Amino acid sequence: MNRALRALAVCGSIGVLLSACSKTDGPAVPAEKASADAAFQKKLQEQLLDAKPGTVIEIPAGSYHLTSGLTLRGDGVTIRGAGMEKTILSFKGQVTGPEGLLVYGNGFTIENLTIQDSKGDGLKINDGDTITVRKVKVQWTGGPKVTNGAYGIYPVKTRNVLIEDSVAIGASDAGIYVGQSNGVIVRRSRAEGNVAGIEIENTVNADVYDNVATNNTGGILVFNMPNLSQPGHSTRVYKNKVDKNNLGNFAARGTAVASVPAGSGIVINSNSKVEIFDNDVTDNQTANVIISSYHSTGYYTEKGVSANYDPYPKAIYVYGNRFKGGGDSPDGLDLKALKIAMYGLSGHLPDVLWDGYVDNKLLVKGVLPAEQRICVQNDAEVLNADGPNKYKNPSKDAAPFRCELAKLPPVTIVQLAAQS
């Protein structure tokens, strides 16, 4: 960026910041504090504009009120705070820029800080390779609202992504979301109070483990959406605690996650080669595991669906999990009626709920090829809801699901190889 443009960007952001001090939703920022925060934002944006490969931008402890989104365009940059609870970037009074922090670059690391109350997405990382997000919290502090930003931690079209020891709270779409990416690890993180806690969408080779997803509408989601740059496959979800994801859905109408029923533990939609194992999945009131097709979601696209889009879940392997509770109060009239019809007023839907949609073109004597089946171990109950026939002939027969699939290899990404 040339000097004149840089000066305009910095001065513009400071002018907005100073003029907006009285427009925040919370208490007015005292003039002295507003002046200090204006100086801080000016310096920080200059550091982002000037950053070169190898630059480490240290943000000291403190709570800083910003009213303009921040942008980094450059490779090999680290942004480091003094600690998740010590360095807080608050965008509650944000006037310009949709994101809190928007990043375009490779070799990017951000760690040890909190981003709060951004107007749109909290931390968006677009089209980068070798991305590390460590001990970062993104939060909307006013509770669940449709006006909260859609995504908390949001790498999209990225490669070799590590998200660890991080927290996402209050996103109106997904707290931790990785989309259209390849080579992803999400571990030791917490998602709470979001519509979707952790979501892996149209992504290839992802490991999601040692996380806690609680009090979201849906805990952990693995989705394939139509009309995106790539289909996803090969995701392992394991050693997670997925508990009490019963929060009412507060997503914007028409978004994909607006179709997720409250009380959904782990949801697989239209994805393939997904393993769910060694998780503790408990007290999710619709079902602990939901396996579904695009056809049962209700989020049909107005532009139609690409001819090469596969709407069916295939090669789904559920085994070695610990299920408890759940299924006792499903969300939505259809599922409530299904529960009562199959299990009575005091009963509950089983741990694994499948909508029943199958790719009929692949059936051989009524059965999918062995490598594309839905396989469920654990002696877990499975309900085929018969979605194609509007739940007219649901089946509790678990025999079709008693099978095994080849296990997926662990995901290896550049960061881990470099650190070993």
Query: What pLDDT is recorded for position 379?
Result: 83
Q: Is the domain defined by 68-301+311-418 classed in CATH 1.25.40?
A: no
Predicted confidence (pLDDT) at residue 232 exceeds the cutoff of 70: yes
Do residues 282 and 304 touch, judged by C-beta distance below 8 A? Answer: no
Summarised one tens digit per residue, pLDDT across range 254-270 is 899 999 999 999 999 99
pLDDT tens-digit map of 136-152: 999 999 999 999 999 99
DSSP 37-68: HHHHHHHHHHHHHH--TT-EEE--SEEEE-SE
User: Does residue 25 have a pLDDT over 70?
Assistant: no
pLDDT average, residue stretch 4-10: 37
Of these ranges, 190-194, 294-298, 386-390, the one predicted with the greatest mean pLDDT is 190-194
In the structure, what pLDDT confidence band is assigned to residue 301 with cuts at 50, 70 and 90?
Answer: low
pTM score, whole prediction: 0.91
Which range (9-23, 47-61, 239-253, 337-351) has the least confidence? 9-23
Q: Is the pLDDT of residue 336 over 80?
A: yes
Point out the least confidently predicted range of 89-103, 243-257, 348-362, 402-416.
402-416
List C-alpha distances in Å: 370 to 162, 255, 275, 367, 409: 33, 34, 15, 8, 19
- Whether residue 158 is predicted with pLDDT greater than 70 in this model: the reply is yes
Q: Is the pLDDT of residue 415 over 70?
A: no
Q: What is the pLDDT of residue 149?
A: 97
With a pLDDT cut of 90, the percent of the chain lying above it is 81
3-class DSSP state for residue 16? helix
Determine the pLDDT at residue 297: 84
Q: List b or e across 380-406, with b for residues whose CB sees 16 or more CB atoms inside 10 angstroms.
A: bbbbbbbbbeebeebeeebebbeeebe
- Please report the pLDDT score of residue 291 as a whole number: 98
Residue 266 and residue 309 in contact, taking contact as beta carbons nearer than 8 Å: no
The two structure tokens encoding residue 83: 């600690």
Contact 124, 102 (CB under 8 A): yes
Rg (CA), the chain: 22
pLDDT bin (cut points 50, 70, 90) of residue 2 is: very low
Average pLDDT estimate for 391-415 = 92
123-126 and 87-90 beta bridge pairing: unpaired
What pLDDT shows up at residue 23?
A: 41
pLDDT tens-digit series, residues 361-371: 998 988 899 99
Q: Which residues are registered as beta bridge partners of 125?
A: 103, 155
Sign of torsion over alpha carbons 65, 59, 211, 153: positive
285, 329 contact by CB (below 8 A): yes
- Token pair of 252, please? 């914007």
Residue pair 47/74 in contact (Cβ under 8 Å)? The answer is: no
Residue 14 pLDDT exceeds 90? no
Q: Average of pLDDT values for 344-348?
A: 95
Count of CB atoms within 10 A of residue 117's CB? 24
| % of the chain surpassing 70 pLDDT | 91
Average pLDDT over residues 363-386: 91
Pick from 32-41, 369-378, 400-409: least confident: 32-41
Question: What are the residue ranges spanned by the domains of the chain?
Answer: 68-301+311-418
Q: Which helix (H) or strand (E) holds 36?
A: helix 31-50
User: How distant is the alpha carbon of residue 237 from its chain centre?
Assistant: 13
Q: Is the model's pLDDT at 6 over the cut of 50? A: no
Q: State yes or no: pLDDT of 411 exceeds 50.
A: yes
Mean confidence (pLDDT) of the chain:
91
Instruction: Please tell me the distance from the alpha carbon of residue 385 to that of residue 399, in angstroms, as a whole number.
Output: 15
Largest interatomic CA distance in the chain? 76
CA-closest candidate to residue 197, choices 189, 206, 205:
189
**Dihedral sign of CA atoms 111, 114, 119, 120 in order:** positive
What is d(CA 406, CA 195) in angstroms, rounded to the nearest whole number?
Answer: 32
